[in-house]
Amino acid sequence: MKILVVGSGGREHALVWKLLQSPRVTKIFCAPGNAGISGLATCLKISATDIEALADFAQTEGVGLTVVGPEVPLSLGIVDYFEEKGLRVFGPRRNAATLEGSKVFMKDLLEKYHIPSAFYATFTDREEALCYVEKQAAPMVVKTDGLAAGKGVVVAQTIAEAKAAVDLFMKEKAFGEAGNRVVVEEFLRGEEASFLAFTDGETVLPLPSSQDHKAIFDGDKGPNTGGMGAYSPAPVVTEALHRQVMETVMLPTVKGLAAEGCPYKGVLYAGLMIDEGVVKVLEFNCRFGDPEAQPLLMRLKTDLVEIMEAVIDDRLAEISLEIDPRPTVCVVMAAGGYPGKYENGKVIQGLAKAGEHKDVVVFHAGTALQGDAVVTNGGRVLGVTAIGETVQEAIAKAYKAAAEISWDGCYYRKDIGRKALDRV
C-alpha cells in the first residue's frame, strides 16, 4: 500500500516512522515533509493546505491511505474533499474539526452536553470584552476563537495583562482572523495532561496518557509555545482518573458531536486540567499532538495502518492496542528566540552521533536540506525521543542524545519529565 502523510513537523516524522513499520506499506510520500522525513519517505513540493493538488497526487499515484497531520488542512475540509473523490483518508471531516477550529463551538458543545470545563464568556466586540475583563478576578485566560498554532492563549495574572491580551488578539490582530472572536475563561488550577484516543464515531480507543510542556522556560515559565517536550505515561492520570476521563469527557464528546450531526473519526485529543482528582477540559485538538505524538507512537506496538483503516471502516471495536509498558520522553530543541522571532538556515551539527544512541529517535520538525547540510527551518527544530525501563532512564537517554546536537542559538528546556519524577 502507498501512503501519503500530510504535514512537515515532528508529529509527521513520527507518523511516517511508525507507518513504515507496517508490513502492508510499500511506499510513503510526505507533503511537504522535512529533512528527517526525506530519509524515510519521498517528500513532495506540495503545501499541506493545497488540498486539490494533494488529492490529484493521491489519485494519480494510487495512494491507498492519506494521513493528515496538522489542524489547518482538517479545518479547511481536506477529509471531505478526499472522500468526495473516493479517496481513503484518516482524520475528521470539516464540521467535526470545528471542535479545534473554533473555541466558541467547543465551549458551547461542552456546556450543552454537561462535559466539565472552565466557566467562560465569548466576545466579538473589543470594548465589551474589555469591560467584562475589568469585572473579573485575576488570574484569567484569554483565547482566540480560531486556530493560532497553539499560541493564541494568554494566562493573564493581572487585569492589565488580560486587557493587553484582548488588544493583542482583537486590535493588533496578532493572529489575524483567529482573534475576531475571543473567549475569556476562568483560570483552572492543577496539573495538565494530554489524553488522546482513536475513535470511529462510536468506539473510543484510548492511547496511554501523556503530558506536554507548553511554556518556553523551565518550571513552566514564560510564553506558551507549540510544546517544548512531552512524556508518556503521565502519572497524574491514575486508573481512576482514566475512567473518569473516558466516562465524563471522551465518550460524551463523541456522542455529543454525533448528536450535532458532526460524527467524529480520527484522533481526538483532550487537553485536561486535573486538580485534586477532578478533571476539566482545557481544549480539544482534532489530531495527534505535537510533541505528544512522538513519545506515544514510540510506545504503540499495534500496526498503525490497521488502526486507521478500522477507524475509516467503522470497525474500531475489533481493534485492541498493544502498548510498550516502558516510559518515553521527548525533548524539543528549538531555535533561539522562539516563540518570538528567530532565524532559519542555521547548520545543525551532531545528528549522526545522536542517532547512534540506543533507544533514541531524533524526530525532525523545523528542518530543511541545504546541499548536504541539515539546517534549521522553524521554531521547533527537533524532538529527541527516548524509551527507558523507567522515566528517569528515558529522560537521561533523551538528554544525553540532545547534548550531541548543536547549532547557533539552539535552546531546549532542561526539566522535561520532572513532574513525572516527582510522582514516582
Write out pLDDT tens, residues 11-49.
999 999 999 999 999 999 999 999 999 999 999 999 999
Check pLDDT > 80 for residue 149. no
Contact by Cβ (8 Å): 68, 308: no
Backbone Cα Rg of the chain: 20
Q: What is the rounded distance in angstroms from the CA atom of residue 217 to the CA atom of residue 413?
A: 6
Q: Which three cell numbers stand for residue 143?
A: 483565547
Q: Which helix (H) or strand (E) holds 206?
A: strand 204-206
In this structure, the dihedral spanned by the alpha carbons of residues 19, 20, 25 and 31, taken in order and rounded to 10 degrees, is 70
Please report, rounded to a whole number, the percentage of residues in the chain having pLDDT higher than 90: 94
Contact by Cβ (8 Å): 151, 214: no
Contact by Cβ (8 Å): 237, 193: yes
Helix (H/G/I), strand (E/B), else coil: 391: helix
Q: What's the pLDDT score for residue 147?
A: 85
| Phi-psi label, residue 270: left if phi above 0, alpha if psi -120 to 50, beta otherwise | beta
pLDDT, averaged across the chain: 96
Check pLDDT > 80 for residue 150. no
In eight-state DSSP terms, residue 214 is -
Residue with cell 476539566: 280
pTM value?
Answer: 0.94
Q: Which residue has the higher pLDDT, 329 or 148?
A: 329
